[in-house]
Structures are given as structure tokens and as C-alpha cells.
Chain A
Amino acid sequence: MQTFLNAFFTGGSRGAIYALVALGLVLVWRGAGLINFAQMGQAMFSAYVASTLIAQGKNYWIAFIAALVVGAVLGAAIDILVIRPLKKKSGSAILNSPSMREAIPVIASLGILGILQALAGMIWAGDERGFPAPVSTSAISLGGKSAPFTPFDLFVIGTVFAILLATSLFLSKTSVGLAMRASALNSEVARLSGIRTRSIRTLGWVISGAVASIAGLFITPATNIAPNSLDLILIVGFAACVIGGLDSLMGSVLGGFILGFTTSFIGVYDVPEDIFIAIFAMLILVMLFRPQGIFGSKAGRRV
């Protein structure tokens, strides 16, 4: 029972982090129609900035907010400096074909990931460094027995739920949220309605960058930061999106939790080596039997 509860809470806190990564990916996907492979590069970069601030003796929360801002600014910069110019028609007929026009920004995002990793390597000389958690990461004891969760698990789960709630309220209740949904669903009708879809898309990148940075900060107490330390998390987050349904915000978030629990239970009851086999098995099963994702609505899907 103790083992089960341990796996359960670890899975919940891990799933919460995957859900954040998935949320960040979906926000950009819905607005811009691309999988942003640079996302965890942005998160890695902001985690380095935060850890530098903490090494200088700054407060955890100041570092936390700095990381958010760095992630958000990187998001805006990628959209404005790289993705927008790529939307312009080029002179070459091959580059103007619809499939290339979809592929080019994705390839560009991979390039940005490389640049961010190289930059981080140059600035921080590839130091592997840790990053503290704001609360203890060892299990608390309840009446002499150690509880199946740590304060940090609860902190992560609580913060992630607050972020998910805030995001969904923002999207469903506010005017800017309506503009975001409209731009994502049908940008032509949105533009004819007077919505500045370009700025709205950039806002999606900004929120996605901030959300990804939080995910990065939550992972780093467990694994040290290195320029490429968050690459695997991106793959898991992407798998979560595909399993849950890329078009569905809630689907992707649930996909994150499904993977969190799966990896945690496999790690405890089976061997950790099987974790990635399980993730890819789930991915393949979903792609075979429900290619739009478990909670996805659209029949067709561009991948």
C-alpha cells in the first residue's frame, strides 16, 4: 500500500509537470499551427537564469518570476523575429508549397532549440547545476510514519492546478481569451471581426513560454540543469498532447497526467527502463485507434 501511494503521488506531481509542458505546446499549436520544439530550450534557459540569481543569493520567488519573464520574452522573440518573417512568401515555388510552409517553422523551432542550448553552454560553460525547491523535497512524517508525498509534490500539484484553472478561466471568461480562441479556431473570421490575430498569436507564445518555464523550474530540483536536460521532458509532453488530443487543451493536460501516472507506476512496479517503451506503446496505440487523440475533436490531423 505504501509503495502504491508513493507511486501515486509521484505520478501526480510528475503528471502535473507534463501537463504544463503539454499546455505550453498546445497554446502555440492552436495559435500558430506548429509544434514548438524550442519550448524546453526556453525553459532550460530561464531555469539557468533563475539558478544564477539564486547562486547570487536572491530569493526563490524573485528567481521564479525572473524565469517566467525570460520564458515569456523568449516566446515573444521567437514569434516576432523568426516565425513571423517565415510566413512571408518566398521566391521559390518549392518553399511556397503548402506542406513546406507548414514544415519550415517547425524546422526553425528545432534550430532555435540548438541555438539556445549552444548559448546556454557558452554562458554557463555547461555547468550542471541544481536548483533548489521552495519547500522540502523529502517525505514528511505523519504520526511517526513517513507520508507517501513530499511538501514539494503538493506544492507542484497545487501550483499546476492553479495555473490550469487560471488559464481555462482566462480563455473562457475574458475578452482576450475569446479573441485567442477565435483566432485559433478560424483566423479568417477572427480577422474579419477586427481581432488582431498576429498580436493574439504572439500572446499565445508569451503564455506558453511562461508556462514552460514553470515546468522547467519544477523539474530541476529533481534533475540538474544542463543545456539539454529538458529534451526528454519535451518528448513526453509532446506524447501527452498527441495522446490527449492536440486540439484540446484539457485533453493534453489529461494526457500529461496519464503519462505521469504511467511512468511512475512502471518505475515502481516494473523497471525504469520500460518507461519509454510504455510511452511509445501508448502513442502508437492512440495513433492507430484514435488518431485525433483521446479527447481530440477534429477528425483530420496534420502531423
Chain B
Amino acid sequence: MLEIKELSVSYDSVQAVSGISFVAETGKITTVIGANGAGKTTLLRTISGLIAPKSGGISWNGSEIQGLRPENIVRAGIAQAPEGHAVIAELTVEENIRMGALFRLRKNRDDVRAAIAEMYELFPRLAERKNQKAGTLSGGERQMLAISRALVSRPQLLLLDEPSLGLAPLIVEQIIQTVSALCRETGLTVLLVEQNANTALEVADHGVLLALGKVVASMPAAQLRADESLRAAYLGY
């Protein structure tokens, strides 16, 4: 279980996240939605250790993880597929996936090999392109690769930052469905940050609505989806 407690983050003098609290239950999909600038990406980058919080805490399975380095957060079982389908364009598809498992290689070589094979099963299109440079992939394929790179570390918690950004609805649907199936089958916990609230709330169990760095609503996804006044006020549809 991931627990965010009174978390505040600021860049220089700008407060991006101010005192937010919520819980992401184990084995569930929690989605954080909100308009541009609501603090969603800042929140994820703080959880994955790229940014240090100003105050507040992040507790993961009972231990405090705020302020740890990203490379140690990954070792604690939290992997992030960052915003903008971030993969390393100059490396091949296979190298990008292997990269996510390098830190486990010495202890568990066989499992790493198995995990890489599983990624190709999950996203067969990546298997067809495994020796191509990641820079030659389409946006959807890059997102699949970013997710594979995160999953190959066998995380317990997957942080997804705007997987739908710039992708065709059909591909978004396919990627989201794959992740949600994985969540149901393996008990993976997912924290999904999305601007595309409708798609996210469709698959999520719990929804957290952020606006200007504060939690406006935190309730079951179905309930959030049905609340027309919240939708109209904060999501504009």
C-alpha cells in the first residue's frame, strides 16, 4: 500500500503540490486526474525519487521512502514509466528493456531472462522490433516499451505518467487494458496519472482529483465519474 501524507513539493518558489494525502491500495488501480499544471507529474516524480519533497511523507508498505534516490526506489519495488513515453532513442528495443533489469541481473539472471520474454508476450509488437533503435518506434510502441522497461524490474507498484499523451484512442485503450489485466492477474498496484480522465476512470478502482496542487476529491472511480458537477468544474466535459 502506498500512502501519501500531507505531501508538499515546490520548485524554487513555486508550490507545485501542497499538502496532498491519499492512499493507493495494493492490487488496485488508483488514478490521479486533473488539468495541466495540477501537480500530477510532480507527484509521480516525487514518489519515484527524482524530486525531494518539501514536507510530508510517502509510505510504501509501511516504510518511509521520501528522499530516497530513484535507483533505490526501484529496488524497493516501485517502477515508473515516465511522461512522454520516455525511452532511450539511441538504444535498441531489447537494450531498453534489459536496462530496466540490469540491477537484478547479478542475483537473478534466469528470472531476468524470463521477465524479458514475458514483456515480448505482453507486447508482441516489441518482439518484432527488438533489434530496432527505440527512436524508430511509433508513439504507441514507445509507450509499450516504456511500460515494459518499468515492468521488467518486477515492481509491486507501477507508476504510469500520462500513457495516453499524443496517442490514438485505440492504442490507448489497448495499453490501458493490458495494464489493467496485469493488475487483476498479478496483483500489481498501479498509480495512473492521466489528463484523459474518462479513460482513466473507466479502468480505475479509485480516483483522486487534483487541482492546483490540492486534492479536490478522492473517491471510488465510478462515483467520481458519475459526479457531473466535479467533472464540469475541474475537467471541463
Complexed CA–CA distance, A45 and B86 (Å): 42
Question: Which of B69, B95, B98, B150 is A191 in contact with, Cβ under 8 Å?
Answer: B69
Task: Decide if B48 is an interface residue (CB 8 Å cutoff).
Answer: yes
Name A44-81 residues within 8 Å CB distance of B: none
Check if B50 sits within 8 Å of A191, measured CB to CB.
yes
Complexed CA–CA distance, A193 and B100 (Å): 5
Complexed CA–CA distance, A189 and B134 (Å): 13
Complexed CA–CA distance, A195 and B75 (Å): 10
Question: Which of A192, A196, A197 is B82 in contact with, Cβ under 8 Å?
Answer: A192
Task: Decide if A274 is an interface residue (CB 8 Å cutoff).
Answer: no
Complexed CA–CA distance, A297 and B69 (Å): 31
Note all chain A residues with C-beta closer than 8 A to B50. Answer: 188, 191-192
Task: Decide if B28 is an interface residue (CB 8 Å cutoff).
Answer: no
Check if A178 sits within 8 Å of B75, measured CB to CB.
no
- Report the interface size class on chain A: 10 to 19
Complexed CA–CA distance, A186 and B50 (Å): 13
Most interface-central of A182, A190, A194, A197 (chain B CB within 10 A)? A194
Task: Decide if B66 is an interface residue (CB 8 Å cutoff).
Answer: no
Note all chain B residues with C-beta closer than 8 A to A195. Answer: 71, 99, 102-103
> How far is the CB of B78 from the nearest CB of chain A, in Å?
10
Among residues of A, the one whose C-beta sits closest to the C-beta of B48 is A192
Question: Which of B86, B88, B91, B153 is A194 in contact with, Cβ under 8 Å?
Answer: B153
Check if A197 sits within 8 Å of B102, measured CB to CB.
no
Task: Decide if B41 is an interface residue (CB 8 Å cutoff).
Answer: no
Question: Which of B80, B90, B98 is A192 in contact with, Cβ under 8 Å?
Answer: B80
Chain B interface residue count, Cβ-Cβ cutoff 8 angstroms: 27
Check if A189 sits within 8 Å of B98, measured CB to CB.
no
Name B110-146 residues within 8 Å CB distance of A: none
Check if A194 sits within 8 Å of B74, measured CB to CB.
yes
Task: Decide if A230 is an interface residue (CB 8 Å cutoff).
Answer: no
Question: Which of A182, A186, A192, A197 is B79 in contact with, Cβ under 8 Å?
Answer: A192
Note all chain A residues with C-beta closer than 8 A to B102. Answer: 175, 178-179, 193-195
> How far is the CB of A132 from the nearest CB of chain B, in Å?
42
Check if A186 sits within 8 Å of B153, measured CB to CB.
no
Complexed CA–CA distance, A226 and B188 (Å): 63
Note all chain A residues with C-beta closer than 8 A to B70. Answer: 191-192
Check if A175 sits within 8 Å of B105, measured CB to CB.
yes
Task: Decide if A129 is an interface residue (CB 8 Å cutoff).
Answer: no
Note all chain A residues with C-beta closer than 8 A to B95. Answer: 178, 181-182
Note all chain A residues with C-beta closer than 8 A to B79. Answer: 192
Chain A positions within 8 Å of B, measured between CB atoms, are 175, 178-179, 181-182, 185-186, 188-197, 297
Chain B positions within 8 Å of A, measured between CB atoms, are 48-50, 69-71, 74-75, 79-80, 82, 86-88, 90-91, 95, 98-100, 102-105, 149-150, 153
Can you offer 5 A-B residue contacts whose CB atoms are under 8 A? Answer: A178-B95, A182-B99, A188-B82, A194-B102, A195-B103
